[in-house]
Structures are given as C-alpha cells and as structure tokens.
Structure 1
C-alpha cells in the first residue's frame, strides 16, 4: 500500500479536490442541498473558513483556511463525506471489499490536497476553482455556474461579475485531465 504523506500546518490554507468514485455520476449537483448541509454541519462542529468552493457533478474543489492550531482537514472531509452519503438512498452496487469495509462506494477513498504557499498560489487556486465549470464545458461563463462561491465573492466585490468572460482555460494544476 502506498505511504501517503500529508503536510500538517496548523492554521494553514489548503486547496482540495474531492472526487466521486464513479466519475459518470452526477450525485453532487443532484443532491446539492444535502452536500451543503453536510458542509454546514461540519463547519458548525469544526470551524474552517471557505475561501472558495465549487461543486461539479462528479467532483468538487475547495480552498479552506483552518483555525490557528488546527491542521485536521482529513477529519473534516471524512465528516462531510459521511454526512452526505447518509442522505442518499442505498442503490449503488457494492464489491465484497466495500461491504467488508462498510463503505458505500460513493466517494473515492482519498482526496488531493495542496498547501497554499503564498498570495500568488492562493489567487491561482481560487481562480482555478471558479474557472473549473468552464474548463469542463458545463458553462461558457463562470457566472453561469450556480454551485460556486464565486457568486458570494462577486457580491463582496472581490471579482467582477464578468470575470474571465467567455473563457477558454489553460493550465492543468489542481487535477488530472
């Protein structure tokens, strides 16, 4: 088994990619209210700031800042995933390994995380979150994707409504093609 190493920086800022196991599913947008409730409940129990968040049908990206002295983002993702899955009907086929491990077969077991290094890295990853629905061809304008904290940031004056315009994207950071 691979030896996964994660950096633990209390109070750090992180970029995440979290995927469904079956990348053809649309569960995240079909059950967006349940996902939002899972995130909200986890934030109530274990505080963290959401700097950026975008939900696509089969995966999501987020930039979080953890409280000073706290580096346990893994526990937060475990809670979000578990709370979300508990709201779904049990219709997915399961392997013997999933049954033995009491898994539902909804999420990939792990997630991808990146410790934000500086302001440039921060801006790059927040913008990556927001451009991602365009990158995947769901919309041609960032503003048109409803499942994104981009709208919050427009209201706060951090981005213009027409940011990225009619866009094509370059760059492959944050996830594999």
Structure 2
C-alpha cells in the first residue's frame, strides 16, 4: 500500500471536497447546519483562516480557504472541524470495525480532497464551481435558490448578479 502525501504550501488558497461517511443519510449536514457553522467558528477562533467560498449540500461540502502567511496546516483544521461537529451529534451512526477500534465516529469519510489554487483563473473557476454545485446536483434550478452558500455574500459584494449561473457548466475535477 502506498502512503498518501499531501502538498503543504504556507499562505496558499485551497479547494476542498469533504464528504459524510454514509451518503445515504441525505440530509445530515443540512439537518445540523447550525452545528456545522459552530464547528467552523470553533476552528477559525483557534486556527484562523479565510473562507473564500463555501457550499453545504446534504451529504458533502465544497469550500475554498486561504491560510495565513507562514501557515500550511489545513489538515489540523479539518481534523478539528470534523471532530467538533461529530462530538456535537448524538451517537447512533453505523461504525465499521476499523473506526471502532480507533475510537472514531462514523460521521465523515476519513480523507478529504484538496486542490491548491494556482492562479486567479483557477480561483475563479473553483468559486464558480462551488456556487454552481447545488444546481449540478439538482437541488435547485437557480444558484440563488440555495441558502447554504457563499453565493449570497458574493451577490452583496457585487461580484455576481442575482441571476448568475443560469447557463453555467462548471465541470472541474473536484473529488466528488
């Protein structure tokens, strides 16, 4: 078995896909959106970072973070975020033996997918992909109809129009 290695670049921006372990629980993240928001606040207070864009779907989320200068440790942040969220939920999920032996919950898939943002075009494409994702998965017909997205912040900032993305096609390699 080969060992998995991640790239760590201080101060970089990163795109992430993070998925729940049991994707059949189609509403876990949305049913616990306040808990998820609290987990993000908890981690940001202890290990600051900027959330450039985010979308939360029922069973996975996509986001882009920019880490502070000199800081490359996104893995600790995800570990803390997943742990804080998991400990806040009632137990009762299915837990496989390997997780049980380690004292782990069965809320999240162990790994997450990351992509280092290389330039402004890459940044823009991934932000567009994040905001288009609820339409891609058929949850809504218009990007603006999805409430769990930074799209609304981008509209307020004048970056997107309210009707942005009606004809979009944002197929990127994202780990889904």
Counterpart for residue 41 of structure 2: 40
Q: Distance in 2 between matches of 1:93 and 1:127?
A: 34
Q: Distance in 2 between matches of 1:142 and 1:11?
A: 30
| Paired residue secondary structure (1:126) | helix
| Paired residue secondary structure (1:63) | strand
Gaps of 5+ in 1: none
Q: Distance in 1 between matches of 2:7 and 2:93?
A: 33
Counterpart for residue 120 of structure 2: 119
Q: Distance in 1 between matches of 2:74 and 2:106?
A: 21
Counterpart for residue 85 of structure 1: 86
Deviation at 1:93, TM superposition (A): 2.2
Aligned length: 175
Q: Is the 8 A contact 1:134 1:169 kept in 2?
A: no
Relative to the length of structure 2, the TM-score reads: 0.95
Counterpart for residue 15 of structure 1: 15
Deviation at 1:97, TM superposition (A): 1.7
Deviation at 1:99, TM superposition (A): 1.2
Q: How does 1:49-88 map to 2 (within 5 A)?
A: 49-88=50-89
Counterpart for residue 156 of structure 1: 157
Deviation at 1:94, TM superposition (A): 1.9
Counterpart for residue 133 of structure 2: 132
Q: Is the 8 A contact 2:53 2:64 kept in 1?
A: yes
Deviation at 1:131, TM superposition (A): 0.3
Counterpart for residue 94 of structure 1: 95
Counterpart for residue 171 of structure 2: 171
Relative to the length of structure 1, the TM-score reads: 0.95
- Deviation by residue 1:11-46 (Cα, 9 ceiling, x = unmatched): 000000000011111211110000000001111111
Q: Is the 8 A contact 1:15 1:116 kept in 2?
A: yes
- Deviation by residue 1:98-135 (Cα, 9 ceiling, x = unmatched): 21111111100010000000010000000000000000
Q: Distance in 1 between matches of 2:152 and 2:168?
A: 20
Q: Is the 8 A contact 1:128 1:174 kept in 2?
A: no
Deviation at 1:168, TM superposition (A): 5.8
Gaps of 5+ in 2: none
Divergent runs of 4+, >6 A? none
RMSD of aligned Cα (Å): 1.2
